[in-house]
Amino acid sequence: MKDGLPSAAPGGLEPDTAALRADLDRLWARGRRFFGTELAIMGGAMTWVSERHLVAAISNAGGFGVIASGSMSPDLLAAEIVATAALTQFPFGVNLITMHPQLIALIDVCLAHRVSHVVLAGGIPTAAAIARVRDGGAKVVCFAPALVIARKLVRSGADAIVIEGSEAGGHIGPVSTAVLAQEVLPNLTDVPVFVAGGIGRGEAIVSYLEMGAAGVQLGTRFVCAHESIAHPNFKRAFIRAAARDAVASVQVDPRFPVIPVRALLNPATQRFSQVQREVIERYNRGELTQKEAQLEIEHFWAGALRRAVIDGDTEGGSLMAGQSVGMVTGEQTTRQIFDELVAQALSSLAARRRRSEFALPTGAAASGPAGGQDAAG
């Protein structure tokens, strides 16, 4: 342990590898300090997937696990926090949906159980909700879809920001991760910023760290971890999928807005477009009010994610996945996933170092010391 952080580089590393690991740790030092973890990699909060077993496995492997509270009641969330704490001695957080009718009660549950970080997602949280978390002694992490909103959230008290691009799984915004990173990272330095959406390899992690990110968030890569409770059918769908199979849901009529959801194409996603058309036709015939039609469209996916993740219904359920699903090629332990990501990151740093050395003018490496000796003589 150094500076209050878990040791990042185990003893016995080759000198070159140890030096590269030191470089990596410098790049994501701010994120490591913020979470108190060995690695500045945050687990994405995936409803039904990010529960006690996967969350604890991520934290035990050096990352920062996050419980997806979804629609949990305060009592259910309290039980999940206690169960997670029994599986890990390392820090973990809780993701709360800002539109939850019992948001304040859920915040109070997190505070009562001394959760170190609360992630407010699924909408722009109020200053009052942010203050409630901070006043209780926890750190607040918020999602921002644009620089102007990120700045507003920081002014409201957010301790860190996550920018998540449209490559991510689940509910998504319209802007890609690469564009968001270019917009936000150079212009928001007050707080740590974590990048999410479509990240599946260590080389990408290094790229965002070098742009100024404090760390990253990954979700899709962990779905097929051995510790994930996702149904074998759900995992097989991920392993077989390519990036192009993770598509955003289509909005049929602008009068009935649909927040896009990225998921693997299956009969259910195809049926969703047809359901929208059928409901809108009924509205046009006067059989439904606009509110009734909107609710019927929104309720189509109710329970669909659980049917896929827990029951294994890959035809009628929702296979929410990010485009990094193409990099999921088999089941691994969470530790193996982290080891692979770090190895790729170190390889990327090594390649950068080699290119830098190669770019030096001929004789430049030797002329410095020789010149110094001549001057001294």
> DSSP code of 221?
G
Which residues 6+ apart lie within 8 Å of 361 measured at CB? none
User: Distances in Å between the alpha carbon of 169 and those of 106, 220, 236, 330?
Assistant: 24, 7, 17, 18
Mean pLDDT computed over 191-203: 98
**Residue 364 in this model has a pLDDT that exceeds 70:** no
Q: Are 234 and 307 in contact (CB under 8 A)?
A: no
State the Cα angle at 95 between 91 and 98, rounded to 5°: 150
Q: Are residues 217 and 256 in the same domain?
A: no
Separation between Cα atoms, residue 6 and residue 302, nearest integer Å: 41
Q: Which CATH number is 126's domain given?
A: 3.20.20.70
In a domain, 346, yes or no: no
Q: Locate the DSSP E strands across the chain.
A: 41-43, 65-68, 92-97, 117-121, 139-143, 160-164, 170-171, 193-196, 215-218, 246-248, 261-264
In a domain, 341, yes or no: no
Mean confidence (pLDDT) of the chain: 92
Using pLDDT thresholds of 50, 70 and 90, give the confidence band for residue 361: low
pLDDT at 360: 57
Q: Which range of residues forms the domain containing residue 312?
A: 232-324
Using pLDDT thresholds of 50, 70 and 90, give the confidence band for residue 302: confident
Give the total number of structural domains in the chain: 2
Domain boundary among 303, 324, 345: 324
**Residue 117 in this model has a pLDDT that exceeds 70:** yes
**Residue 373 in this model has a pLDDT that exceeds 50:** no
Q: With 0-12 CB in 10 A as exposed, 13-18 as middle and 19+ as buried, what is 235?
A: buried
Domain boundary among 167, 199, 229: 229
Mean pLDDT computed over 67-89: 97
Q: How far apart are the first and last CA of the chain?
A: 45
Q: Are residues 109 and 203 in the same domain?
A: yes
Q: Are residues 198 and 298 in the same domain?
A: no
Among the residue ranges 117-131, 143-157, 253-267, 311-325, the one predicted with the least confidence is 253-267
pLDDT at 51: 98
Q: Are residues 168 and 190 in the same domain?
A: yes
In a domain, 367, yes or no: no
pLDDT at 377: 30
**Residue 362 in this model has a pLDDT that exceeds 80:** no
Q: 133-147, 255-269, 361-375: which has the highest mean pLDDT?
A: 133-147
Domain boundary among 229, 261, 283: 229
The two beta strands, 170-171 and 261-264, are: antiparallel
pTM: 0.89
Neighbours of 207 (CB within 10 A): 17
Q: Are residues 140 and 238 in the same domain?
A: no
Using pLDDT thresholds of 50, 70 and 90, give the confidence band for residue 115: very high
Q: Are 86 and 60 in contact (CB under 8 A)?
A: no
pLDDT at 270: 86
> DSSP code of 223?
T
Q: What is the pLDDT of residues 205-249, one digit of tens each?
A: 999 999 999 999 999 999 999 999 999 999 999 999 999 999 999
User: Distances in Å between the alpha carbon of 292 and those of 85, 100, 301?
Assistant: 42, 21, 16
**Residue 330 in this model has a pLDDT that exceeds 90:** yes
Q: Are residues 261 and 117 in the same domain?
A: no
pLDDT at 125: 96
Amino acid at 151: R
Q: Are residues 181 and 248 in the same domain?
A: no
In a domain, 136, yes or no: yes
Q: Which of 99, 329, 322, 345 is nearest to 201 (CA)?
A: 345
Q: With 0-12 CB in 10 A as exposed, 13-18 as middle and 19+ as buried, what is 144?
A: buried
**Residue 337 in this model has a pLDDT that exceeds 60:** yes
Separation between Cα atoms, residue 8 and residue 174, nearest integer Å: 36
Regarding predicted confidence, which is higher, 315 or 359?
315
Q: Give the percent of the chain with pLDDT over 90.
A: 82
Separation between Cα atoms, residue 280 and residue 228, nearest integer Å: 39
In a domain, 294, yes or no: yes
